[in-house]
Amino acid sequence: MNDTFLKACKGEEVSHTPVWIMRQAGRYLPEYRAIRGKADFLTMCKTPELAAEVTIQPVDRLNVDAAIMFSDILIPCEAMGQNLSFEENRGPMLDPVRDKETVDKLFVPDPEDTMGFVMDTIRLLRKELAGRVPLIGFAGAPFTTATYMIEGGTSKNFLNTKMMIYQNPALYKSFMDKVTATITEYLKAQIAAGAQAVQIFDTWGGIFCPADFRKHALSYVQKIIKDLKEWMKGRGESVPVIYFVGSTAGLIEEIKTSGADVYGIDWKIDLDAAIKRLGGDVVVQGNLDPLSLFLPKEKTEERVKDVLNRGSSARGHIFNLGHGVVPQTPPENVIALVEMVHRLSAR
Ligand code: 1CP
């Protein structure tokens, strides 16, 4: 049983720095593309056997210290009553939520009834992994999830989202209350099904100035984490919560108040500087630039050493990229990265 990841989340001593890779199950792996060639993305998410298979692929191939269940942050949007599809090469498409009538039609779903396939995937994975590595569950943060729901897909400047926030704050709040309740119940269901850590992805949190981030994004994350912690306490459990925000550098003092056990840091700030601003006695995850995997191997290794050195000033460090691995990355470079982290951090 490899528990270095869970130990590091708790700030306990470990024999090496654990490493996993955001988006480790995905298109850069030929074995993922082979399955994806036969099934569309949503079918893969909704078929526990397929979702479990692609979750385990990077564990086999890369020797990472944690598995992250294969799914997507937009699954709860469909469960709330919104139309969701993934168009080839266009990414996610949703019917935009922009007025009160549409918000009123959304509901807070029972996760087992509407997203039971996710919990089935988790239960299957716990059996198949059999303690080999811990399993991470996840959800999008309310704000990041809401941007897709409001824009109807991905966005460059989030105009419709900010228009709703600035012009109709009451509507935004009532919408976010529903999204927040949905994600809270969804994460509880994942933990009850066997997720051993959960990560909240706030990929787009960095599009705000800090004051707006606190009010319109962070406050909802704080509520989720507080609810989760109280609920876990009642069950005698303490599953680590990781909070990842894109464009972390401008928001370090903010994420410090999130209540998370582990802070995900992107690559646009030196890890030791982030740790210092977080107060030092913290657990961090990150933060190699994903495109460092295109450098010559010895240059990548220099950067890995540098991240490990900087990370050593924290109570705990989980090695990861500063964001997801890109589809063009050669798998052998990702394998080499994991090997480097293990070798260079061996105590
Ligand atoms: O065509 C395909 O095969 C689909 C590509 C794909 C994949 C592999 C999508 C569509 N989602 C996923 C899986 C996924 N998404 C995981 C799997 C677990 C793992 O990490 O291995 C996870 C954790 C996510 C989370 C996710 N989805 C985020 C947050 C993390 C991040 O990368 O910032 C976001 C923003 C999404 C939305 C989404 N889903 C898919 C795409 C292409 C996108 C991004 C669209 C955009 O750029 O706005």
SS (H, E, C) the chain: CCCHHHHHHCCCCCCCCCECCCCCCCCCCHHHHHHHCCCCHHHHHHCHHHHHHHHHHHHHHHCCCCEECCCCCCHHHHHCCCCEEEECCCEEEECCCCCHHHHHHCCCCCHHHHHHHHHHHHHHHHHHHCCCCCEEEEEECHHHHHHHHHHCECCCCCHHHHHHHHHCHHHHHHHHHHHHHHHHHHHHHHHHHCCCEEEEEECCHHHCCHHHHHHHHHHHHHHHHHHHHHHHHHHCCCCCEEEEECCHHHHHHHHCCCCCCEEECCCCCCHHHHHHHHCCCCEEEEEECHHHHHCCHHHHHHHHHHHHHHHCCCCEEEEEECCCCCCCCCHHHHHHHHHHHHHHHCC
213 lines ligand 1 (CB under 6 A): no
Q: In this predicted model, what pLDDT tens digit does every residue of 55-105 receive, in sequence order?
A: 999 999 999 999 999 999 999 999 999 999 998 888 999 999 999 999 999
Q: What is the pLDDT of residue 52?
A: 98
Please tell me the total count of domains within the chain: 1
Q: What is the pLDDT of residue 88?
A: 85
Q: What is the pLDDT of residue 89?
A: 84
324 lines ligand 1 (CB under 6 A): yes
Look up the pTM and report it.
0.97
Q: Establish whether 23 is a catalytic residue.
A: yes
Atom of ligand 1 nearest to the CA of 203: 33
The CATH number of whichever domain residue 197 belongs to comes to: 3.20.20.210
Instruction: Kindly give the parts of the chain with pLDDT less than 70.
Output: none
Q: Establish whether 36 is a catalytic residue.
A: yes
- Find the domain containing 277 and state its range: 4-345
Q: What is the pLDDT of residue 133?
A: 98
